């Protein structure tokens, strides 16, 4: 495993649409392993492949209940609404209150190409939405209602 560089805002790759994975091979497994290590090292709760410079529909997430790997993920159902503070490893120092569904159902494939569905609520729902947006070239600003001054966060 290796820690990869996280692409930051201003790089064009973050605004591009990622391609679906068609081959579930060793290269994909290495990408997933590296993304997991990179996310953990950065202290993030989610990471999408374009953030490490790879335009493939691959996401990892970990909200403290173990690492979740999503290949070609799609949100197939959603309920409710939440407004919480969100940031992004690719947008250091930037935080905003986003509007997201409170609950989502995601359909995806695992690293071997097997399809599964999974639900997430609260933080996990937010992470799923945020990371899947990255695969469509969208940053969290698109969902922000109001930006938050990071200094106010530190004083809390």
Tell me which residues touch Ni ion (CB under 5 A). 88
Q: Please check whether residue 48 is in contact with residue 134, taking contact to mean a CB–CB distance below 8 angstroms.
A: yes
What residue is closest to Ni ion based on CB?
A: 88
Minimum distance, C-beta of residue 152 to Ni ion, in the bound complex (Å)? 21
- State the nearest-atom distance from the C-beta of 23 to Ni ion, in Å: 25
The dihedral sign for the CA sequence 71, 87, 105, 136: negative
Q: Measured from the CB atom, is 61 or 88 closer to Ni ion?
A: 88
- Please check whether residue 52 is in contact with residue 38, taking contact to mean a CB–CB distance below 8 angstroms: yes
Residue number with CB closer to Ni ion (88 or 124) = 88
Q: Quick check: is 131 catalytic? A: yes
Residues contacting residue 102 through CB under 8 Å, at least 6 positions apart? 79, 80, 81, 82, 121, 122, 125
Of 9, 26, 121, 131, catalytic = 131
- Give 108 or 128: the residue with its C-beta nearer to Ni ion: 128
Rounded least distance, CB 134 to Ni ion, Å: 6
* DSSP H helical ranges for the chain: 26-42, 123-135, 150-154
Residue 97's Cβ-side half-sphere holds a number of Cα atoms within 13 Å equal to: 9
**Catalytic sites, residue numbers:** 131
């Amino acid at each position: 495993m290796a820690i990869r560089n996280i692409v930051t805002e201003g790089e064009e790759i973050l605004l591009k649409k990622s391609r679906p994975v068609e081959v579930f091979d060793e290269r994909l497994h290495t990408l997933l392993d590296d993304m997991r290590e990179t996310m953990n090292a950065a202290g993030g709760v989610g990471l999408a492949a374009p953030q490490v410079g790879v335009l493939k529909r691959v996401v990892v997430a970990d909200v403290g209940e173990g690492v979740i790997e999503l290949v070609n993920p799609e949100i197939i159902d959603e309920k409710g609404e939440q407004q919480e503070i969100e940031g992004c490893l690719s947008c250091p120092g930037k935080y905003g209150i986003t509007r997201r569904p409170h609950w989502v159902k995601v359909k995806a494939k695992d690293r071997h190409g097997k399809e599964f569905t999974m639900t997430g609520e609260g933080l996990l729902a937010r992470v799923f939405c945020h990371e899947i947006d990255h695969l469509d070239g969208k940053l969290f600003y698109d969902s922000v209602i109001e930006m938050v001054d990071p200094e106010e966060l530190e004083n809390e």
